[in-house]
Amino acid sequence: MTTIYDVAKRAGVSVATVSKVLNGYPDVSARTREKVQQITAELGYHPNAVARGLVTRRSMTVGVFFQDHGNRGFRHPFLHDVIASFKDSIGEAGYDLLFLTEHRGNDGVFRGFESRAKQRDVDGLFLLGVPRTNSGLATLSRSQIPTVSVDLDLFGPKASYLCSDNVGGARQAVDHLVANGHRKIAFIGDRFGTKPGHDRMLGYQEALQAHALEYRPEWILEGDFGETSGYRAMRRLLAEAELPTAVFCASDMMAIGAMNAISEAGLHVGEQISIVGFDDIELARYVSPGLTTIRQNTDKMGQRAATELLELMNTTNKPPGVITVETSLVVRGTVRNIA
């Protein structure tokens, strides 16, 4: 391995000088600078960011914890999109992403978020799909590690979080239904009490009130955001004495499951029963009829997360905050106008 000493010797200067040209310091003569640069290229020398980080105390690395409820690791499309956008933005600033896992070290000791972050010396943390129940969260929120999490209300001296405007999004969904003449609207939500699930439920209820619609406990179902749970919830709903004319689902996958249950029952989505989903995943365009849904702006979420984390890491006394990103209604074919 070529080190800064090799370059220094070959160029006939000291390591300090080499370091200075490498880091673009001005107090180096043009002659020396050129000489060093030439040797650097000649030797194919690459400064070692790890050693540099050890002394500067900045690794230019942000740690990512990415889980999803199904324990499917990398496979959640919505969060993927957020990460992709986050990576682009934070990459611009020179940071690389280190994907971390909580685990038991070879000493048998369990290492959670904070421990892993310190171990790897990351400058900040980005959390996605982490359930509220995770035991490492409390310690993390109290720590001084700059952190931003999405869809999880983790708040602390250096911890901001970011969500879509889930309350508003849910209202958009119900409003759209009402605008199309629906007054009997069911809801398939989440049984885990995630922040988004909770807020979408809230928005649903607010909208019911705003439109003076009847609140019917038997029309409130619970799932886990996955297709099967939406299917099951819809089956239960279809067994009720009185059926709603529309159902708002807290995720697209649940909406798709619900659509299957409806077809299976010999009914037609968008005819007897209207459906609105949430997320606007890629699939929503491909099912038939196309799913009307509330779109989460993943690009913007990633960007906002990146700028927030950058500030948390690089601005002293930057107060943490909560960031909300607007949603938008995407009309496709699952809502019928019955006015």
Question: Considering beta carbons, is residue 44 or 266 the nearer one to DNA?
Answer: 44
For residue 329, the minimal CB distance to its own copies (Å) is 22
Pairing type for strands 159-164 and 147-150 reads parallel
For residue 18, the minimal CB distance to DNA (Å) is 7
Question: Considering beta carbons, is residue 60 or 64 the nearer one to DNA?
Answer: 60
- E strands in the chain: 61-66, 96-99, 103-104, 110-111, 124-128, 147-150, 159-164, 185-190, 220-223, 246-249, 274-279, 293-296, 322-325, 327-330
Is residue 42 near its own copies by the rule CB under 8 A? no
**For residues 260 and 254, what is the distance between their CA atoms, to the nearest angstrom?**
10
Distance of CA 112 to the CA centre of its chain: 19
CA distances from 283 to 149, 212, 254, 290, 303 (A): 25, 33, 12, 9, 23
Say if residues 98 and 122 touch (Cβ distance below 8 Å).
yes
**For residues 25 and 20, what is the distance between their CA atoms, to the nearest angstrom?**
5
Site for its own copies in 288-317 (CB under 8 A): 288
Site for DNA in 175-234 (CB under 7 A): none
Say if residues 161 and 150 touch (Cβ distance below 8 Å).
yes
Instruction: Name which position in 24, 26, 217, 266 contacts its own copies (CB under 8 A).
Output: 24
- Residue 3 binding target from DNA, its own copies, none, CB below 5 to 8 Å by type: DNA
Site for its own copies in 239-268 (CB under 8 A): 256
Instruction: Name which position in 10, 20, 35, 111 contacts its own copies (CB under 8 A).
Output: 111
Instruction: Name which position in 38, 40, 54, 282 contacts DNA (CB under 7 A).
Output: 54
For every residue of 242-303, DSSP letters joined together read S--SEEEESSHHHHHHHHHHHHHTT--BTTTBEEEEEE--GGGGTSSSPPPEEEE-HHHHHH
**For residues 136 and 120, what is the distance between their CA atoms, to the nearest angstrom?**
16
3-state helix, strand, coil in the chain (%, to 5): 45, 20, 35
CA-nearest of 118, 126, 121, 123 to 65 is 126
For residue 222, the minimal CB distance to DNA (Å) is 46
Q: 319: which DSSP letter?
A: P
Instruction: Name which position in 9, 37, 43, 47 contacts DNA (CB under 7 A).
Output: 47
- Residue 283 binding target from its own copies, DNA, none, CB below 5 to 8 Å by type: its own copies
Instruction: Name which position in 51, 138, 210, 267 contacts its own copies (CB under 8 A).
Output: 51
Is residue 52 near DNA by the rule CB under 7 A? yes
Is residue 12 near DNA by the rule CB under 7 A? yes
Instruction: Name which position in 98, 265, 323, 338 contacts its own copies (CB under 8 A).
Output: 98
> What's the Rg (C-alpha) of the chain?
26
For residue 75, the minimal CB distance to its own copies (Å) is 6
The one segment of 68-76, 152-160, 240-248, 312-320 that binds its own copies by CB under 8 A: 68-76
Residues that bind its own copies (CB under 8 A): 1, 22, 24, 46-51, 53-54, 59, 61, 72-75, 77, 80-81, 83-84, 87-88, 91, 94, 96-101, 103, 106-107, 111, 115, 118-121, 256, 282-283, 286-288
Residues that bind DNA (CB under 7 A): 1, 3-5, 12-17, 19-20, 22-23, 26-33, 46-48, 51-52, 54-57
